[in-house]
Amino acid sequence: MRVITGTARGKRLKTLEGSEVRPTTDKVKEAIFSIIQFDLAGARVVDLFAGSGQLGIEALSRGAKSCCFIDRSRQAINIIKENVESCGFSRSSAVLNADAADYLRSCTEFDVALLDPPYSKGLLGEVLPLVEQKISPIGIVVCEHEAELDMPERVGKLIKKKEYRYGKTVALTTYTVGEGE
* Section 176-181 average pLDDT: 71
**Which neighbouring-strand residues pair with 164?**
172
Residue 20 has pLDDT above 70, yes or no: no
Tell me whether residue 9 is in a domain. no
State the CATH number of the domain containing residue 80: 3.40.50.150
Domain limits for position 74: 26-177
Q: Residue 124: what are its φ and ψ, rounded to 5°?
A: -65, -40
Tell me whether residue 73 is in a domain. yes
Number of structural domains the chain divides into: 1
84-104 confidence digits (pLDDT tens):
999 999 999 999 999 999 999
Q: In the chain, how many H helices and how many E strands? A: 5, 8
133-160 confidence digits (pLDDT tens):
999 999 999 999 998 999 999 999 999 9
Q: Give all strands (DSSP E) within 49-132, no chain letters.
A: 66-71, 93-97, 110-115
Tell me whether residue 173 is in a domain. yes
Tell me whether residue 15 is in a domain. no
Tell me whether residue 33 is in a domain. yes
Tell me whether residue 126 is in a domain. yes
